[in-house]
């Protein structure tokens, strides 16, 4: 068999695994499992693909609040602050995977803050406008990891915001074609840009071997429609946040440092405020005994430190997608050195960032696989809320791995595409949206599969 056919066979194997493995415990949409005595109960915020809305559901899966007029998650997750205030990306710039603004709205939907003055861009109809160019992630400085912890109560104003954005330039040390590079910016509440970091200027700090550098230099992912090469494809960027490591004197984990995740390169890194990479795991997870124990991380999303006040605080939590990713390591499934790492199931990993001990993990190879998007949230009771994004499944597992709540997203057919995929989901306390009544919580027990009929 030729190398091209071997590569095609591997891709088809992964695609078949998506269809075969990414299935709910039972098949209807909505909530299919719910044990109220074992879950951390609250509202769940869905950042959906295929619809320009932010949707809130209760533990029964009922839609209890909806904000329209956002984008369909090209700009990353929607988050809710106490008082029923939503922040999410708005506007789109196809074919670029990015938003044009980050917008805060109150419960009634009125805009109370907006940021777009990052870069001037040209739209498809030839207009020149200001755009945030924000993609995949953003985070408030007063909201560690961007989800609930009893130690933090973010407010609507007065905090800086971190945005993951694009910028276009040519950096010969990376490749000779224009890059759609990843650029971190921190903005003040009044929209002033206070700090920036461009990834391409730090390629020497990201652990690439010479063969990987050679692959990147050939720009295999150059996109003619965009006129650029999205070489690193960072898909999450969050403040490190207050943590025990920094409290103990380890300055790598300064709260205002930023942890990033590169899907294309299969690496996680922490960037300090001077722009240096001060902590990294990957791209090669065979480089030490500790990394071999973790196993190769592939195409991962939503890397962050678990906030103080939650079980596992200070550990890295990451959704390890599987599928294929990585540069270099050319072989039968990756003759050109692109996507050499491959695995047909997903994992959620909790890692001690100092010792690199694998503290906890969740995987179910026959029932759990999302090749893209997705995320994980540590809950106050020690459970973990997992977004299996591509098939539209959100579920809560105990530390022992038992599913105690499961929700299958129904298809949304608004706009140009129909989808049930969810970029990321977050659980929050009922009282963070005081405008809504606390719902009745009623257990949902799935039928025996042998007895279930449509």
10-residue mean pLDDT profile of the chain (454 residues): values are: 39 38 59 97 94 95 96 86 97 92 97 97 90 97 97 94 98 98 98 98 98 98 96 98 98 98 98 98 96 98 98 98 96 93 97 98 95 97 98 97 96 65 97 97 85 64
| C-alpha span between 363 and 265 (Å, rounded) | 22
Instruction: Give the rounded distance of the alpha carbon of 1 from its chain centre.
Output: 37
If we measure between CA atoms, which residue out of 13, 60, 10, 72 comes closest to residue 34? 60
Q: Is residue 399 domain-resident?
A: no
Q: Is residue 54 domain-resident?
A: no
What is the CATH number for 309?
A: 2.120.10
Query: Element (H or E) spanning 358, and its range?
Result: strand 358-362
| C-alpha span between 407 and 414 (Å, rounded) | 20
Other beta carbons within 10 Å of 112 = 12
Q: Which domain holds residue 312?
A: 3-28+61-376
- What ranges in 235-389 are assigned the alpha helix state H? 244-247, 289-294
Instruction: Give the rounded distance of the alpha carbon of 102 from its chain centre.
Output: 17
Go through the chain and tell me how many residues it has.
454
Q: Which residue has the tokens 């609930």?
A: 148
| Residues in Cβ contact with 334 at an 8 Å cutoff, skipping those fewer than 6 apart | 7, 324, 326, 340
Cis before 106? omega within 30: no
Q: Which residue has the tokens 């907006």?
A: 114
Q: Is residue 110 domain-resident?
A: yes
Q: Is residue 445 domain-resident?
A: no
Which neighbouring-strand residues pair with 301?
319
Which neighbouring-strand residues pair with 130?
120
Phi-psi region at 68: left, alpha or beta (left = phi > 0; alpha = psi -120 to 50): beta
CA distances to 91, 221, 228, 328, 422 from 388, in Å: 25, 26, 30, 28, 8
Q: Is residue 431 domain-resident?
A: no
**Helices and strands in the chain, H and E counts:** 4, 31
Query: Element (H or E) spanning 8, and its range?
Result: helix 3-21
Number of domains in the chain: 1
Q: Is residue 280 domain-resident?
A: yes
The whole-number pLDDT of residue 124 equals 82
Q: Is residue 292 domain-resident?
A: yes
If we measure between CA atoms, which residue out of 301, 269, 300 comes closest to residue 202? 269
The whole-number pLDDT of residue 74 equals 74
Q: Is residue 168 domain-resident?
A: yes
Which neighbouring-strand residues pair with 259?
238, 270
Burial class (CB in 10 A: 0-12, 13-18, 19+), 163: buried
Phi-psi region at 219: left, alpha or beta (left = phi > 0; alpha = psi -120 to 50): left
| C-alpha span between 398 and 24 (Å, rounded) | 17
Dihedral sign (CA 379, 383, 387, 393): negative
Joined together, the tokens standing for residue 278 give: 């001060």
The pairs formed by 105-114 with CB atoms below 8 angstroms and a separation of 24 or more are 105/67, 107/65, 107/83, 107/433, 107/435, 109/67, 109/68, 109/69, 112/85, 112/156, 113/156, 113/157, 113/189
| C-alpha span between 271 and 43 (Å, rounded) | 33
The whole-number pLDDT of residue 7 equals 39
Other beta carbons within 10 Å of 381 = 15
Beta-strand (E) ranges in 69-133?
A: 79-81, 85-90, 101-105, 111-115, 119-122, 128-131
The whole-number pLDDT of residue 418 equals 63
Give backbone dihedrals phi and psi of 415, rounded to 5 degrees, phi first.
70, -160
- Assess contact for 241 and 145: CB atoms under 8 A: yes
| C-alpha span between 144 and 169 (Å, rounded) | 31
């Amino acid at each position: 068999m030729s190398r091209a056919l071997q590569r095609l066979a591997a891709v088809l194997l992964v695609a078949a695994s998506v269809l075969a493995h990414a299935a709910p415990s039972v098949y209807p949409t909505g909530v299919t499992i719910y044990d109220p005595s074992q879950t951390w109960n609250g509202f769940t915020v869905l950042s959906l693909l295929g619809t320009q809305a932010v949707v809130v559901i209760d533990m029964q899966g009922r839609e209890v609040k909806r904000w329209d007029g956002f984008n369909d998650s090209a700009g990353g997750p929607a988050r809710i602050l106490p008082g029923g205030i939503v922040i999410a990306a708005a506007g789109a710039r196809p074919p670029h995977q990015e938003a044009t603004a980050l917008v805060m709205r109150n419960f009634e939907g009125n805009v109370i803050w907006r940021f777009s003055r990052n870069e001037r861009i040209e739209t498809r109809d030839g207009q020149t406008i200001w755009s945030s160019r924000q993609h995949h992630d953003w985070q408030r400085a007063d909201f560690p990891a961007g989800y609930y912890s009893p130690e933090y109560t973010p407010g609507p104003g007065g905090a800086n915001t971190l945005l993951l954005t694009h910028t276009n330039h040519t950096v010969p040390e990376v490749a000779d074609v224009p890059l759609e590079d990843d650029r971190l910016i921190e903005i003040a509440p009044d929209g002033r840009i206070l700090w920036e970091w461009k990834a391409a200027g730090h390629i020497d700090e990201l652990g690439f071997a010479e063969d990987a550098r050679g692959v990147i230099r050939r720009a295999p992912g150059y996109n003619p429609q965009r006129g650029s090469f999205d070489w690193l494809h960072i898909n999450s960027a969050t403040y490190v946040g207050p943590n025990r490591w920094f409290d103990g004197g380890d300055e790598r984990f300064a709260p205002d440092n930023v942890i990033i995740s590169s899907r294309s390169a299969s690496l996680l890194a922490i960037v300090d405020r001077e722009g240096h990479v001060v902590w990294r795991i990957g791209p090669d997870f065979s480089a030490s005994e500790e990394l071999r124990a973790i196993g190769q991380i592939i195409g991962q999303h939503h890397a962050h430190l678990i906030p103080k006040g939650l079980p596992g605080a200070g550990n890295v939590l990451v959704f390890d997608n599987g599928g294929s990713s990585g540069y270099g390591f050319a072989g039968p499934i990756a003759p050109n050195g692109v996507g050499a790492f491959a695995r047909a199931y997903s994992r959620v990993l909790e890692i001690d960032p100092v010792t690199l001990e694998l503290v906890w993990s969740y995987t179910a190879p026959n029932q759990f696989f999302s090749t893209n998007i997705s995320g994980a949230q540590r809950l106050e009771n020690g459970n973990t809320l997992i977004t299996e994004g591509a098939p539209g499944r959100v579920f809560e597992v105990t530390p022992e791995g038992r599913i105690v709540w499961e929700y299958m997203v129904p298809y949304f057919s608004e706009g140009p595409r129909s989808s049930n995929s969810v970029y990321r989901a977050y659980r929050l306390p009922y009282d963070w949206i005081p405008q809504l009544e606390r719902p009745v919580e009623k257990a949902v027990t799935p039928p025996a599969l042998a007895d279930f009929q449509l």
